[in-house]
Structure formats: C-alpha cells, structure tokens
Structure 1
C-alpha cells in the first residue's frame, strides 16, 4: 500500500522579518557612528536616547529568535506525530471512538449498543463546550453517528477535534451499555485535520485515541 510522504518542513515565515530587522539595525549603527563622528563638542548627542534604542533593537531580535525556536519545536513535533501515524498502517489497533475530526463539514463516530435503544448524543468541542445535541433511535449492534458541523445554535462550527458522549435507554427507561471503542486494521492516515486521523475500514480515529496496537497476524 502506497503511503504519501510526510513533509519535512516549510520555510520559516520569520526569515524575512529577521533580515529586515538586521538591515535596520546595521543602518542604525551606521547612522550612530556617523553622528558621533560629526557631533558638536559643545552640544553632544544624548547617549541615553541611543542606549534606549539599542535596548529596543536587542529586545526585538531576542523575541524573533524565541519565535523561531518555538516554530521549529512545533514543526518537529508535527513531523514526529505524522511519522508515528504512518507506522500504524497495517497494524491492528483498539481505539476510543469518542473523538473525531470535523473536516469539510463532516464528523463521524461509530458506536454499539447491547439492545435497541433511544439515544441522546452530545457533541462537545475541544474546550468541552456542548455544541450539538440530538436524540434518536438505534437498533441493537453497531451504529454510525454523522454530524454536519451545524451546532444547536444553527451556526457552522470550525473544523477541528470534537468528542461525543452517548446516553442510551431501552423502552422501559433503563440504561443501555454504549461502546465507543473499536478494533480493526489501519488502512490509511489522513493528515488534513488538526492531528493525524487513522482510517479503520469506514471509521476515522484520532491518533491520540489509540489504546492498544498489535501486529496483524492474519496478513
């Protein structure tokens, strides 16, 4: 199975800014040197002002270096996660199905119930805020819950990671066990979301939801 190559990185967006700051700093030093050479001995330049400007330039340069370092760390972490995700292809994993990625207006969750039940599904965003609630009926066995990203307020929610909790009751009002864990072979990886998503048959599982991994002994 062919797997798309993982990007090694991108050109830093700060490089142009650093170059501009460096040029301005060199220009400032040249002007300072020229002014010092040609200053009026009877009316010398205010050295405190120049000192403050030097401190400001130094502070900006240090901040740019810090931003570059953080950018490099984030890129390294992202590439490591992508490489780890590719390593799951062909492996059998067990994962929690509570989380899913909303991509292009669609998020999908797989779950199962012990018997036919009335369910209440609650979708929450990454901060734990409830964004959508829906009630319905499902038959015994596995079911699929699809969400188009439209919240209970009627507004389209942004792409990203969302979680679901499902409460199920039978006809007598008794609670029914709901299983969101799934086990299957990883057949591919989707990198378009906020984190890698493993493809298991028709299901999509966030990398962070993986509970166990084992070698596929049937292949």
Structure 2
C-alpha cells in the first residue's frame, strides 16, 4: 500500500507540472524526461506503468515543446513583418497616392473624387462636412467605368464652404432604374504616417488612409 500511495502522489505531481509548466517545456525539456524516469522508478511493482502510456506521455511532451518553439518562431516572423511594413509605409511620404475612400480635402475652392460605375446611369451625390452635416446635394449622369467628380465648394445655398475635409456618398441607378454601387477613390500627397493602429495609416493632411487601401502610387519627377 505504501508503494501504491507513493505512485499516486508522484502521478499527481507530474500532472501538475505538465499543466502549469508550459514555458518550462520549451526551456528545459530534460526536466520532463527526468519526471518520467522518476515516475518509472516509483511505480508499483504490482501495477507497473504501461509502456504505451509512457510512450504517449513522451510524445505529448515532445509535441508541446515543438508547438511552443513554433509559436516563438511565428512571433519573430510577425515582428519582422511589422518592421518591414513600417519601413514600406515611410517610403510613401512625398508620393501622390490614389486609394479607396470617400473623404477628400476642400482647398482653394476645389475637391475631387474618382468614381467608378459598373454601368451608365445617374446618381444623387451628397456631400457632408466633418461634423456630418449635409452641405450639398445634386444629381449628375454617370458613365460606365472611371470618371472624376470635381466639387467647386459651393453649398446648396450657393455660398462657399470653408476649407476642410468633406465626405461624399453616391446613390446610383443604371439606365433601367436598378440600383448599383459606384465606388469612390481619393488622391493626394502623403505627408506622414500614423503607426498607432494595427495597420499603418498614411496621412494626407488630416485624412487617414489605410496602407492596404492604396491603389496607385506616383512620385514627382
């Protein structure tokens, strides 16, 4: 009975170490081999440790160690990838980019958006200021494909809107009256990069553009 109790206590200790010592597997795998050896030495002669059970434990320890090492490697690769992305983002400074977006800067009485319509038709265009208030609503014809909409900064009352950021929304229909989605793009010169979010944000004045939304990049000659 004494041997049996010793074996039970040893088994409990091994389970505790395995469940709570995950980091130790990667740092000192020999420690777990020692635990297995101790378990063998203290096993009951009347009820020896099953060979298959011993092999399964050994394989399990090896598998956990390999997984932890893999996680460490993946962490290192992600760190290198993030550093590379940051370096690439800084390279955009000074370049003129075109990117998916709806917010453009009104400056010197002009703001523009690139519009892509899948089919010809018409659209109701709504322009809002940075507080979300509607400053202009108008209708215009759309051609199939790419085109540019230029806003002269005039509000619905005919006054000049102050310089700032304005957002466009398009309610488009084709020639048969069916609704369709018109995509918008913005363009401008990148003058900074914001790294506070998970994806670097290219700055065009006060406008933030996720780096993965960039479509074209042009540098001045």
Q: Normalising by the residue count of structure 2, what TM-score does the alignment of the two structures yield?
A: 0.53
Q: From the two aligned structures, give the one with the greater helix fraction.
A: 2
Task: Give the deviation of 1:30 after TM superposition.
Answer: 1.7
In the alignment, what sits opposite 1:192?
196
Report how far residue 212 of structure 1 moved: 2.2
Which residue of structure 1 aligns with residue 206 of structure 2?
202
1:30 corresponds, among 27, 34, 43, to 34
Give how far 1:35 is off.
4.8
Shift of 1:190: 0.8
Cα distance in structure 2, aligned partners of 1:179 and 1:32: 64
Per the TM alignment, residue 91 of structure 1 is displaced from its structure 2 partner at its CA by 1.8
What is the CA–CA distance in structure 2 between the aligned matches of 1:22 and 1:210, rounded to whole Å? Answer: 41
**In 2, Cα distance between the equivalents of 1:66 and 1:36?**
30
Which structure is larger by alpha-carbon Rg, 1 or 2? 2
Measured after TM superposition, the shift of residue 189 of structure 1 is 0.4
Match of 1:145 among 145, 163, 167: 167
What is the alpha-carbon distance in structure 1 between the residues aligned to residue 183 and residue 199 of structure 2? 23
User: Residues 86 and 189 of structure 1 are in contact (CA less than 8 Å); yes or no, is this contact kept in structure 2?
Assistant: yes
The 1:179–1:136 alpha-carbon spacing in structure 2 relative to 1, beyond 3 Å, is: farther
Shift of 1:70: 2.5
Partners in 2 of 1:194 and 1:42 — Cα distance? Answer: 60
The structural deviation recorded for 1:196 is 1.1
Distance 2:27 2:218 in 1: 55
Aligned to 2:11: none
Aligned counterpart in structure 1 of residue 82 of structure 2, from 78, 103, 110: 78
Residue in 2 aligned with 1:61? Answer: 65
Aligned position for 1:211: 215
Distance 1:213 1:112, change over 3 A: closer
Alpha-carbon distance in 2 for matches of 1:91, 1:61: 47
Shift of 1:88: 0.8
- Mind listing any 5+ residue stretches in structure 2 that lack a counterpart? 1-20, 105-111, 116-122, 128-132, 139-149, 154-164
- Alpha-carbon deviation of 1:89? 0.8
Matches within 5 A, 1:47-196: 47-97=51-101, 109-110=103-104, 112=113, 118-119=124-125, 137-138=136-137, 141=151, 144-145=166-167, 166-167=170-171, 180-196=184-200
Contact 2:195 2:201 in 1 (8 A): yes
Distance in 1 separating the partners of 2:45 and 2:82: 59
**Aligned counterparts of 2:77 and 2:124: Cα–Cα separation in 1:** 47
Shift of 1:187: 0.5
Q: Whole-Å Cα distance in 1 between the matches of residues 89 and 39 of structure 2?
A: 59
Once residues 118 and 135 of structure 1 are traced to their aligned partners in structure 2, the CA distance between those partners, rounded to angstroms, is: 13
